[in-house]
Amino acid sequence: MRKRIVQTGDALRLRSEKADTMIDQDQAMQLHDRVTRGLELSMEEQAALAAWYAQQDQAESASLAGKPASELVEELRAQIDATLSRLRQVTEQIEAQVSENERLRRDNAVLQQELTETRAAPRA
């Protein structure tokens, strides 16, 4: 049986005379998980996984090709700085939300107390 693997977007298509199977990132990760746990894969699954490995290797090589290590380090530092900045923003938002929640709980407790007192007061 003749097979050919064709990339379409983020997925790989394994073409054969009998099957036309798509493998996306999630499926590839599942196949990788199965093979690393010693489970057997069908011939089509093995071919699709091998193609996915080749695609991953090619993407990694392309991202590393032509850039000196110092430039890569600078890019990583910039990414880390951007991530830390975003983390600070999210932390501030969480802290503001926690403060608002505490204020609302206090207000709610006061209102519940007033309601209890109003219900307990004798009616004229």
Which tens digit of pLDDT belongs to each residue from 11-30? Answer: 555 444 334 455 788 898 99
Instruction: Identify the H or E element spanning 11.
Output: strand 11-16
The Cα 92–Cα 102 span in angstroms is: 15
Same domain, 8 and 59: yes
Q: Which segments of the chain have a pLDDT < 70?
A: 1-22, 124
The Cα 18–Cα 3 span in angstroms is: 9
Last residue of a domain, one of 29, 48, 65: 65
| This prediction's pTM | 0.41
Nearest to 20 by CA among 39, 1, 41: 1
Same domain, 47 and 22: yes
- 3-state SS class at 123: coil
Same domain, 107 and 73: yes
Domains in the chain: how many in total? Answer: 2
